Structure formats: structure tokens, C-alpha cells
Structure 1
Amino acid sequence: MQNEQSSKDNPLAVFPGLMGSAVEFAVDAAQRTILFWDVMRQRGNQYREHIAEAAPHVLEYDVELVVDGRKLDRPVNYLLARIVPPKGVTLEPGRRPFVIVDPRAGHGPGIGGFKADSEIGVAMRAGHPCYFVGFLPEPMPGQTIADIALAEAQFLETVSARHPDAEGKPCVIGNCQAGWAVMMLAAVRPELFGPIIVAGSPLSYWAGIRGQNPMRYSGGLLGGSWLATLASDLGNGKFDGAWLVQNFENQNPANTLWSKQYNLYAKIDTEAPRYLGFERWWGGHVNMNAEEIQFIVDELFVGNNLAAGTIRMPDGTAIDLRNIRSPIVVFCSKGDNITPPQQALGWILDLYGSTDEIRAFGQTIVYTVHESVGHLGIFVSAGVARKEHGEFSSNIDLIDTLPPGLYEAIFTPRSAAETGEDLIEGEWIMRCEARSLDDIRALGGNDAADDRRFATAARVSETNLALYRTFMQPAVQAFANPLLAGWLQQMHPLRLQYELFSDANPLMAGVKAMADQVRGARRPADPENPFLAMQGRVSEAVETGLDAMRLKIEAASEQAFTTIYGSPALQSAMGVDPHGDKPLRRVAKDPLHDQLQRARIADLKARIPEGGIREATVRALLYAGLDRRSIDERGFAAIQRVRQAQPDRTLADFKQLVRDQFLMLLIDEEAALAAIPGMMPEDPARRTGAVQVIRDVLAAAGDLTETTLERLGRIEALFGSQDAKTPLRMPARGGGGKLRPAS
């Protein structure tokens, strides 16, 4: 009876042993195949519905339109929207707003708020109001990159005007291609910005490491930017963003041709919602005007002119990234094959010869390098959002107050018995450690010979573009028309794959009915089925083969590029010195800046004796903590509590105070310390209270060194106070060399 009942529940149970496993797998595989194609059908229908929307996006949140860029004096297809906080999220009055700018790199907008654990989500949970800069699929006639920059400037002015009581200018996050756009605007309108976070953003386009990330060779191997011009001409003045997406697809053929689809097929019962959610964004292609893509390719991807300071706005203003006055946070990853760390950070080496030069320009640069996450993971990974983006959001005021210099953001897990636990937000502790340019160089990059090759490729691009415009463009433009442009766009392979498997194709008519029947009789194979294991091994073999093919193609591409553009004859013909060893992208020094710097130094020296207990306390705290070469979020949180108890001192005032006192110590440390007694009030209680603040802040992170203790002793002598309430003691022998607050 029991066997009969089992047979009714599972008809496949009548097949014994290996035969039973084979039949079970065959049924499961057939059902998964039908369900797979039904998901493809849903994907196609979703694509058609998405592109039919007036303003397609993939934001998880409700939004309110604030500014429509189409109604500006120089119309653009960009929009500013306010993110409506979801139920259960409370924004804190006075918190600076966050503005998330999504990349227009072939896809539609929304990836910065793709899900709850996202850049937008963690910023709102930290109490910040959030705004989103998105765009429509079609550009406005004649709009340029400069027009978009002007529109985004008006967006930021609007956001600041809506939050007049915020403790700082808006924090702006530029994802991927939006990163360079944000940096360009910040260079010409620095007063609009609070801290800037550029995530996965290429800023130094030639940089990279031999044998890795060969996308940088594409421009040279294709002969330069003339192909972008041809595509725009065939598009009747518009460039199809699907071609940019195709470039991303080509970087990982194993994922494009196999892994992505196989993962859905293998996990068909659970994977469909995630797959369809991502495909909604991945398939939402948008267009650009010919002028826009030409600027991007000529000035950035091939020309690499951003860090060189040779790009100019229409009014002639040079875009010099050294003019940015806001802290710049660079988030990149070693696992990113689109924007490797060298392209995200190489601009620092192009602009500066030392960290002293960074300080001289008053810039604060913070970077963090993830070990493994891929390009899209920087924006969409829930783990990255909860860790890196969450910490940036929670500690944005710390970043904004850092003294000028170069820092690396380090994240350590929060433990149960952490020192200063009440000063920690979230599950991670962020500290900013001082770095030098050698730390950036250690990541790898180009040598002088590599730069000559890329400079030659840029000159060849200019030549080929001129030849195309002279001999081919008139005929192509005469042949092109809106009908041809529309037909070419519809027939693009990336668009066609969605259309062919939607309900618009009569051959897909029966798939839904079959899938409904399968769901009602679904019989997945046992996870221990040997044929499932065999299926997995076959998949691994396919991936390995495709990866091997990719590596061979990449090696051949790199060899072709280095051979062609490393030719001394070609370099000479293109006006590049084959034997030059000077950096080709280094920005020239501005004599006016040197004069201003000397005047600034003289002013700071003259003001060293000025100030009272506040200035003396900050100066002393900076001096005592210089030995650590790092700033911990717990110490800053302790400072914030003291500052917030003094409502007359705004964050902007405090930031300027910290910077001035830090620079005074750099200019003349001994004179700055010697002036402290003259800044002290007569009241001994106030002096003792100031010392106590210094001790509390230093002890918050629990890692005082002997040198720090010696510095603290000198400060106490200068303040004339030896009776603070929290004495610090030497650790017990073998205690790791750390100093802890005495119990």
C-alpha cells in the first residue's frame, strides 16, 4: 500500500536506480526549459512596457518632480526629483541633503535606488533627505554636455534653497559616467557642492595594468572616434545607447553568452524575480545627441583630457579638477573590469606631485578600494550599500571636516565590546588613514612608454575623424533619414533579443499556457541527482572555455595595440616624441595660484596667535593626534557632541576652524604650539574642561600610542592643567602597545 501511495505522489518512483535519476532529471530539465522560455517571454513584455513609459526608471521609491530640465532656458532631458521617504523612515531636520546622479551610459536611470539597500536607501536611513537626477530616453534637440552641466547646477541650487537650515551643502553621488560629469561641474561651480562621492567612475582613461582590463585599448584598435560619428550619422543625429551597453557585454562573454542565462535556468523556481528586476534596467536603452557622444569619446575616452585640464566650457572656462573645494570620495574595486582602480584614481597622480600639493590646493581626497566586487556591484550590491555607502552616509560630516590631504577609508567590523560603542553608527567602524601618492602608485599604472602609445592613438583618432568628416560624412548624412535610423535601432541585436521573445512574436503564443501547466505539475529533481551535478560541470566547462577565449582575445588586443601605437615611426608621424620620458598629462602649474598660496601662508602665520579656547583646543587636538595618521569616526562623534552643545558654531565654521588650525601646524608647528598659552582664558576650570575634551576624543578610538601620550602631556602643560578626570595609563606588558583609558 505504501509503495502504491508513493507511486501516485511521484510517478517517477517506479524507475529504479540510475534510470530513475535519468528520468527524473529529464522531466526536470524539460520543465525548466519551458519555464525558462516563459521568463524570456516575460522579459520581452516587460521591455516593451518599460520603453513605452513616458519617464521610464527602475527606482524602488516614489518620487516627486521638482525641476523639469526640458523647461529650462537651455532645455535638456534631465529631471530633478525628490525621493519620498518610505513608511518607517524618518528624516532628521538639519541633515544635509543627498543628490544621487545616475549614469547615462546606455541604460535608463534608477540604478542608484534600485532596491531598499541602495545608495538612496542607506542615506535616508541615516536621516538625510534625498534627491535624484535622472533623464528621459530621448535627448532634447541640440543639447550638449555643457547644457547638462548648467542644468545640474540649477538642480543643486534648487536643492540648497529647499534646505536653507541644512548643516552643509548637498552631498552629491555620481555613479559611473555621472562621476566625471559631477567632477566637471564641481570644478567650475565649486560653491554648489558638499562632499562628492564618485563610485566606479572613470577619470583617468588611459590608466591600467598590462594584462588586465583591456577596454582602454578599444578606442585605438577601432581607429578612434570616427565610428561613433558614423553611428550618430546613421542614427540621423542621435547615438544609440545600446552600442555602449554592447561594449559592457563584450567585456565578459562567459556571463553574456552563458552564465546569466544558465543561472536562471538552473534556479528557475527562485531566480526569475531577481533576473527580471535587473533586466528591466539593463534593457532600458537611451539615446544621446551626436554632439554629446562625440565630446565623451574625443575628450574623455580617447583624448583623456579631463585630468589634463584641457577641456573648456563654452565660455572658455578651463575645467581644472584642482579647483574643487569639496571633499572627494573615490569608491572603486579591484574586481571592476570597466573602471579599475587605476582609472578611478590615476587623475590624482596627473594633477599632483605630492600630498603637500594636495594640501596647498585645499583639497581633501578620500578613497577606498574594494577587493572583489564588480562594476555594477558598486551601485547595486546590498552588501556594499550596507557597508561602504552606509558608512559614507553616516559619516559624511566627518569626511567634510577632514583637513586637506589624501586618505584611505578603512572599514572594520564592529565588535560587541568595542571601545566607544555608543559613538558608533551601523555595523562597521570607518577610519580615514593618511596616505601618500606612493600608495596610489603601488596600485600599478602606465609608464612613459604606455602614455606615448595612448597619446599616439589619440592623434590617430583625430586624423581619422578629420578624414571621415571630409570624405565620407557628407554622403552618409545625405543617405541617412529618420526611417533608416528607426529601423537600425529596432534591429540592434540587444533590442532584438527582447522583441523576439515577447508576446509580439506569434511563435511565443503557446509558451505561457505550457508554463502554467508545468507550474501545476512541477517536479524538480533531487539536489543529489547525479545528472544535476553533471549539468553543473558542463556549465563550468562552458564558462572556462569562454573565459579562455576572452583571455586570448584580450592578450591579442593588447599586443596589437602596443605594437601598432608603440611604433617609433607612427609616433613621430603623429607628433609624439618616441623617446620622451616626461608625463604627457601633467597639468601645468599656475603662477597665480603660487602667489595666492604665498599670501595664504602669510595670512595664516599672522593669525597663529589669534583666537581663544576653541581655536587652542582644536589646534591641540590636531597636534596630539597627528602621530596616529588616522581619524576614527568615534573621535569625530565625540567632537560632534561637544560642538552641537554650542549652537553658535555651525559645521561650516567648525570645518574652517579645523582646516586653519591644521595648516598652521603644518606651516610652523613650534610657533603654533608656543602661542597656545596666550590663547588660554584665566578660568582654570575652562582650561581643565578643554583638556578633558581632548582626552575624551583621543580615547574614543582606544588606540593611543606612547608618542600620542607624550604629545598629550605637552598639551596639558601648555594648557596649565594636570587634573583631568579621565587619566590615561600605559598598557600592561604584552598588551599590544596600546594605551587605554584607566578604569
Structure 2
Amino acid sequence: MDVLRRRGNQFIDHYRAGKPPVLVFDHEVIVDGTSLERPCNYMLLRIKPEAGEKTDPTKRPYVVFDPRAGHGPGIGGSKEKSQVGVALRAGHPVYFVAFRPKPVPGQTLRDVALAEKLFLDKVAELHPDAEAKPAIVGNCQAGWAIMILSALAPDQASVISIAGSPLSYWAGKEGKDPMRYFGGLTGGNWLAALAADLGGGIFDGANLVSNFEFLNPANALIGKPYNLYSKVDTEADRYLGFERWWSGHFLLTRDEILELTSELFIGNKLTRGRLVDRSGDPVDLREIRAPIVVIASEGDNITPPPQALNWILDLYDDVEEIRANEQTIVYTVNRSVGHLGIFVSGKVAVKEHAEFVSSIELIETLPPGLFEMVIEEIEPEGGVTPGAPAYVARFEARTLDDIRAYDDGRDDEKPFEVVAQMSEVNEGLYETFVSPWLKPFANEGMAEMQRFFHPQRQRYLWCSDVNPFMAGIEVAANAIREKREEAEPDNVYRRTEDLIMRSSEAFLEKMTAQRDLMLEQVFKGIWTNPLVVALSGQAASYADSRKPRASKRKEIEELRDLKLAAIEKRCQQGSFRQAVMRVIYASIRETGRVDARGYAAAQEIWKSHPRFDGISWAELKTEAREAALMVSHDVDKALESLPMLLETRQEREEAVALLRRLAEWRPDVALDVKELMARVEKILGMEAPDGPRRIAARGAKPVAVMPHAPKAGSLAARKPTSRSKH
């Protein structure tokens, strides 16, 4: 009870302080959105390194975007082991996009998007000598925001990472993922409009928080409180730190919440190409040029893997189309962590997010296509804190069937098309016949009182010093702490207590599963009804929903062919570096994998090679992307022209020796490219009778790696190891 009292007081103090971001890092405001031509409540913060630590201004900046889904900003940097902490420890300049509790009157999502674009422009301006453009990270709803931003401004970012971001809102498995049904069960978007009208044109984010807790009442009512109760001596600080963020309820304008629900959640218009910008042009995610990294989890009941990944299926028919669009998509799926854990958990921070930061140069040089980032735990060696886990990533080529495997088919998405259509009808009826007479009765005083008495806020106030009945709790708790003795783990009362609570939690979980099943059946009963389908217009012979999705494949391939025609003219021209890169990309094509350890080894090898001196990372990346495109278009022509690039015997010997060194470093993939190496040596007239056989005898296999000058704190600084626990 004393911890709950402190939680209530913390809630009040945070409110009185203006609900600042819950960042544990010192920071300063760089750009205030209220001062922009189209003002909004967003702001750009610069994270300050701790005393004695420095960031390298020439390193790639990181910009973290937090979600605005009822809570306040800061969760991406609310602890040392976080997205912010990982990038900061690696020496990168880090920026954070935050927002204030109340929106600017009349603020829209388009105003926010414009502000975020200006924020990225400012970061690039502050780091003119940086090795690359900013890497941007979007959590949950901020993920689709930066995807839209990157589609409208493709040159803003170098790499995009989206964590737990719902982009395909209708997707999910039958019998699971009930949150997607809520909009249909309430008749669509009109309820959000009603809530905003009652709030005087403001939508209360506490309503969204209630929806999150409604998903898992067993955890909200028993699991989370009992975890605190049973570990109250050690759990209080962590609990209070999280509750400081969880209890900070933020507001949205009426226009923002309606655009969110009608355009994105219920309408699902983003990946279908029906979302338009200010000029009326459709927002097409295929316009994004930067590599995209998707982090999802099978334990996430708010953004399950199908919602995080099915947008790839919506945009592309196969991997060849992804390659034709010169797009690189990487995904990784955690097996158990929940939604918030994707961007809050310290374990995820030191695993998925840390590997994203340490492998970002490698990700940038991956060839176009679809890859899964597989992260393995390895035995810690020199430079790693004893007892701390150490990980290494590899990137394996995947097909769209691998994405489909996370879902159970897409037929269950058809009723959502009916919901989307009827939602617009219901909202139109509400806007025409209800909203005009309701708005005059709603005023600021009534709205504030409504927000004050919201159950999400009252539960904090009742357990604070504002409540006189809590007056004696602090004194009693302090007295108990002095004489407190812990019961043994096998104490019969302690074991009975745990059994009762765990059984109660399991009972609630079963009841929740039955409730979710009932909600799904009610949803299907309504929105698959032939009469409702006919009224929505979806049963018409030429309804839009029955038409095939507009494909840009022909346009994409025509553009690619134009680029290839220009590249083909240079096919017989190039440098030593380009020749090596062609072989490396051909080996990636052969093996279907790229290993971060091999990449680290390549950094060490090329670090001392004179032919890789004096080239910038931007120039090297451009050459690598051109080599990848050339190999993907015509691998035979790319390899047959190698003698034109390596004219002298000395150059050919150096190239073959370099490729052999890379091949011998990793003995687990070289046999897969043995024939490729033999072919390359034959093309160059460098056949060595004992060359390929010598490699095969040693069991050595080359790894597909990309060149880059080593960076401080990168994988090159680690001692490579082939010993793995898995």
C-alpha cells in the first residue's frame, strides 16, 4: 500500500510538472513544434551523454520516435538499457522526438508529419560531417508515422527501424488477436467522434490505455499487482519507474483521433494505397529507399507478427518485385516478449536493438530483397562483461511464404472491408444528425471534469496523500520495514498464497480467452451477414474490394531497366573494389545468408588493404548497391566482365587472395560457394590446382560480407568466435 501511495503522489507530481518525458537521460530542446509555421505539440530533444562520456559528431545520428497512443513520451529511453542507451553507448549522437500533454488547437496528423520532417532536416544540419544520414527508430504507432514520412521524403533517413508497429491493421490469427475486432463491435469510427465531442474537441488518451488493459485483465488485475506484492522489497523502484510513464495520459485533437481510426486502423488505407498527402497524391510505401528493419514478437497481443509484417504482402507479389524496386527489408521476430517489451525490455535492448545498431552498416549494404535477422547468443569473450549475454546476427534470405507462415490465411480479413465501409456510413450519419447539436453542450469545464473523474486517473488519486485515509500508511510501512523478516520459500502460507494467486490469474486468462472467442463470433455474425454485406456495397459485381490491387511492378521494372541500362554501359568498367563486390554479392546469391561475424572479419581484412584506402562510406555504399543491382540483374554478365576490371596479373592475384582469405575465415558456408570461387578463378585465368580443393579439404567456406572501414564499438572490436550455444 505504501508503494501504491508513492505511485499516486508520483502521478500528481508528474502532472504538476507538466508531464515531461520520462527519459532517464539528460536532454535539451532543439526544435519546439509550437514555433513552426504550422504549429504542433511535438519537439525535438537532443540526448546529452553522461559526464565523462562523449558522442562522435561524425557518426551516424539516431532519432527515436515514441508512440502517441494515450501515453506520454520517453519509454524508448526510460532506462539505461534501452534504444536510446544502446545507441548512446556506441558513441552515436542521439535525438528523441517527444510531445506535450495537450495538442495545439486545430493540430492534425499532417502538421505532425511536417514537423517530424523538419526535425530530421535539423538533425542532418547539425551533423554535416556525419558518415551517413540519420537512422530513425519508430515504436508502435510512431512506426507507421515514420514509414509515411519516409515514403513522402525518401532521402531523409539512411535506415528505418520499426518496433511493434501495426501497418496491416486487419491481419491476425483466428481465435487470437481480439483488438482488431473492437472497431467493428462498436459500429466503426463514430464512437471516437462522440468521445472527442464530449471532450470539447479533445480525445482523452486514457481511453486508449483502458483498451490496452481490457486486452489482458488477468495481468492488469492480478499478475502485475501480485508481482509487486510478492517482491515488494526489490520490485518497487522498477514498478514506480514504469508507472510514471503508464499513468501519464496525453490528449489528441478530434481531427487526429478520427484520422487515426478511419484512415489507418478501421480503414486500413495505408498499405492499400488509399492514403493521400496534402497534394492528393497517394502515399506509397514502395517509394521508401532506405532499408527497413521490422522488429516484432509472437508474444505481442497488440501488434502480432501478421500486423507487423503483412504490409509486405500487401505491397509486393514476390521477392523478385522487392528486388526490382531495389528495396531491402529485414525482419526479426522475438518468441515471447509482450508489446511493451519490444521497446522497453532491457533484454530486447541488449539483443535486438543492440544488434540493429552494431549491424547497421551491414544492413545498408545488403542486396535488395527480404532477409530475416537471426540473432544467436555466443560465449562472451574479451571486452564483454562477465555473465552478460553476447549476441551475433546473421541475415538469411527469405521469401514471402516465410511471412505468410506467421498468419493462418487472409480470408478472415474480408469482413473488415465491410466494417470500413459501414464505419464511414455510421460516421456520416453521426456527423449529420448528432454532432451538430451535441457540440454546443460540450464545454471546457465539462470536458476537464470528465477527464478528472476517468477511472484511469481516479485509481491513482485514491491511493495518494490526497486521500486522508492514506495518512497512516507511510508511518505503518516504515515501522514494518524495520522489523520485517522474510518467510522461507517453502513456507506453507507463502506457497498457498502463490498457488491461490496463480490459479486466480489462470482462471481469468481462461475467461478472457472465452470472451475473446465470443467477441470474434459476434463480430463475424454481424459483418459476414449477407444483408449487412449487401448494404455496405461489398456484394456488388464491380465493388472496389473485388478489383485486383493496383500493381506498380511494370513501372518499377521499367525504372529498374533504365537504371540497369546506364549501369550496363559501365559493366566492363570499374575498380578493384567493384570486382570484389560483384563476387561477394554473387556469393550472397548463392548462399542466401550474410553473417555479421564475417562482416567484422572483412572489416579487419580490408582495414589493412591499400586498395580500400581513401574511400568514404557513402562512396563505398554506392558502389556496393550498384554491384548488387548488377548481380541481381545478370550475374553471368557481372562475373564474365571481371577481367575488364582486373586487367593486370597482380590485380587478379590480389583479388583472388583477398576472396580466399574471406572464404577461409568461415568454414560453415564455403562449400556452398566452392563452385562459384572456381568459376571466378577460371574467368580470371587464375586456376590453381590446389586452390578450391585446398579450401574444401580444410572445410573452409566463404561468407558473404560487405566492406566498411571499422568503427569504434562495432563488431570489428569484438573477437570473433565460431563457438555457439546454438
Same fold (TM over 0.5): yes
Contact 2:396-2:592 at 8 Å conserved across structures: yes
Q: Quote how far apart the aligned CAs of 1:578 are.
A: 7.9
Q: 1:661 aligns with which of 621, 627, 637?
A: 627
Contact 1:205-1:301 at 8 Å conserved across structures: yes
Contact 2:57-2:93 at 8 Å conserved across structures: no
Show CA shifts across 1:346-387 (max 9, x none).
000000001111111111000001111100111111111111
Q: Quote how far apart the aligned CAs of 1:597 are.
A: 2.9
Q: Quote how far apart the aligned CAs of 1:731 are.
A: 5.7
Match of 2:448 in 1: 486
Match of 1:692 in 2: 657
Q: 2:159 aligns with which of 195, 201, 206?
A: 195
Rate the CA distance shift 1:594–1:731 in 2: closer, same or farther, 3 A: closer
> What letter corresponds to residue 647 of structure 2 in structure 1?
P
| Correspondence list, 1:605-620, <5 A | 605-620=568-583
| Correspondence list, 1:266-415, <5 A | 266-415=230-379
Q: 2:646 aligns with which of 676, 680, 704?
A: 680
| Correspondence list, 1:21-170, <5 A | 37-54=1-18, 56-87=20-51, 89-170=53-134
Contact 1:452-1:578 at 8 Å conserved across structures: no
Match of 1:227 in 2: 191
Q: 2:473 aligns with which of 511, 515, 521?
A: 511
Equivalents in 2 of 1:605, 1:551: separation in Å?
58
Q: Quote how far apart the aligned CAs of 1:488 are.
A: 0.5
Further displaced range: 530-539 or 618-627 = 618-627
> What letter corresponds to residue 711 of structure 1 in structure 2?
L
Rate the CA distance shift 1:582–1:576 in 2: closer, same or farther, 3 A: closer
Equivalents in 1 of 2:76, 2:662: separation in Å?
35
Contact 2:299-2:335 at 8 Å conserved across structures: yes
Equivalents in 1 of 2:209, 2:613: separation in Å?
50
Show CA shifts across 1:379-429 (max 9, x none).
1111111111111111111111111100000111224799xx9xxx98211
Q: Quote how far apart the aligned CAs of 1:44 are.
A: 0.5
Rate the CA distance shift 1:568–1:325 in 2: closer, same or farther, 3 A: same
Q: 1:433 aligns with which of 389, 393, 396?
A: 396
> What letter corresponds to residue 459 of structure 1 in structure 2?
Q
Q: Quote how far apart the aligned CAs of 1:446 are.
A: 4.1
Contact 2:5-2:465 at 8 Å conserved across structures: yes
Further displaced range: 485-494 or 466-475 = 466-475
Tell me the secondary structure at the aligned position of residue 657 of structure 1: helix
Equivalents in 2 of 1:201, 1:157: separation in Å?
24
Further displaced range: 255-264 or 667-676 = 667-676
Contact 1:225-1:461 at 8 Å conserved across structures: yes
Equivalents in 2 of 1:117, 1:313: separation in Å?
37
Show CA shifts across 1:258-311 (max 9, x none).
111111111222211111111000001100011101100001110001111111
Match of 1:520 in 2: 482
Q: 2:525 aligns with which of 527, 542, 563?
A: 563
> What letter corresponds to residue 465 of structure 2 in structure 1?
D
Q: Quote how far apart the aligned CAs of 1:562 are.
A: 1.3
Further displaced range: 286-295 or 466-475 = 466-475
Equivalents in 2 of 1:157, 1:549: separation in Å?
50
Rate the CA distance shift 1:523–1:40 in 2: closer, same or farther, 3 A: same
Match of 1:12 in 2: none
Equivalents in 2 of 1:98, 1:63: separation in Å?
14
Q: Quote how far apart the aligned CAs of 1:642 are.
A: 5.8
Tell me the secondary structure at the aligned position of residue 197 of structure 1: strand
> What letter corresponds to residue 658 of structure 1 in structure 2?
A
Match of 1:711 in 2: 676
| Correspondence list, 1:200-279, <5 A | 200-279=164-243
> How many residues are matched?
695
Match of 2:584 in 1: 621
* Identity level (%): 46
Unaligned runs of 5+ in 2: 704-726
Equivalents in 2 of 1:581, 1:158: separation in Å?
42
Equivalents in 2 of 1:698, 1:426: separation in Å?
28
Tell me the secondary structure at the aligned position of residue 397 of structure 1: helix
Match of 1:30 in 2: none
Equivalents in 2 of 1:577, 1:652: separation in Å?
53
Q: Quote how far apart the aligned CAs of 1:716 are.
A: 2.0
Show CA shifts across 1:133-157 (max 9, x none).
1111011111111111111111111
Match of 1:601 in 2: 564
Tell me the secondary structure at the aligned position of residue 274 of structure 1: helix
Cα RMSD for the two superposed structures: 2.4
Equivalents in 2 of 1:483, 1:467: separation in Å?
27
Tell me the secondary structure at the aligned position of residue 175 of structure 2: coil
> What letter corresponds to residue 467 of structure 2 in structure 1?
N
Contact 2:61-2:94 at 8 Å conserved across structures: yes
Say which one has the larger Rg. Answer: 1
Q: Quote how far apart the aligned CAs of 1:740 are.
A: 8.2
Match of 1:4 in 2: none
Match of 1:465 in 2: 427
Equivalents in 1 of 2:528, 2:445: separation in Å?
43
Match of 1:7 in 2: none
Equivalents in 1 of 2:409, 2:230: separation in Å?
42
> What letter corresponds to residue 636 of structure 2 in structure 1?
E
Tell me the secondary structure at the aligned position of residue 330 of structure 2: strand
Match of 1:19 in 2: none
> What letter corresponds to residue 694 of structure 1 in structure 2?
L
| Correspondence list, 1:574-585, <5 A | 574-577=536-539
Equivalents in 1 of 2:227, 2:635: separation in Å?
61
Tell me the secondary structure at the aligned position of residue 430 of structure 1: strand
Rate the CA distance shift 1:300–1:92 in 2: closer, same or farther, 3 A: same
Contact 1:39-1:272 at 8 Å conserved across structures: yes
Q: Quote how far apart the aligned CAs of 1:443 are.
A: 1.1
Q: 2:694 aligns with which of 720, 726, 729?
A: 729
Instruction: Answer yes or no: is 1:447 the counterpart of 2:413.
Output: no
Equivalents in 1 of 2:168, 2:217: separation in Å?
25
Rate the CA distance shift 1:466–1:93 in 2: closer, same or farther, 3 A: closer
Q: 2:499 aligns with which of 516, 537, 554?
A: 537
Contact 1:307-1:350 at 8 Å conserved across structures: yes
Equivalents in 1 of 2:514, 2:548: separation in Å?
31
Contact 1:209-1:444 at 8 Å conserved across structures: yes
Further displaced range: 247-256 or 118-127 = 118-127
Tell me the secondary structure at the aligned position of residue 136 of structure 2: strand
Tell me the secondary structure at the aligned position of residue 133 of structure 1: strand
Q: 1:554 aligns with which of 516, 522, 532?
A: 516
Equivalents in 2 of 1:341, 1:388: separation in Å?
15
Tell me the secondary structure at the aligned position of residue 626 of structure 1: helix
Equivalents in 2 of 1:47, 1:75: separation in Å?
28
Instruction: Answer yes or no: is 1:701 the counterpart of 2:659.
Output: no
Equivalents in 1 of 2:360, 2:438: separation in Å?
51
Show CA shifts across 1:688-726 (max 9, x none).
222222223333333234341121122123334457999
Equivalents in 1 of 2:335, 2:429: separation in Å?
44
Q: Quote how far apart the aligned CAs of 1:596 are.
A: 2.1
Rate the CA distance shift 1:222–1:701 in 2: closer, same or farther, 3 A: farther
Rate the CA distance shift 1:583–1:699 in 2: closer, same or farther, 3 A: farther
Contact 1:401-1:654 at 8 Å conserved across structures: no
Match of 2:552 in 1: 589
Further displaced range: 313-322 or 211-220 = 313-322
Contact 1:609-1:679 at 8 Å conserved across structures: yes
Contact 1:96-1:129 at 8 Å conserved across structures: yes
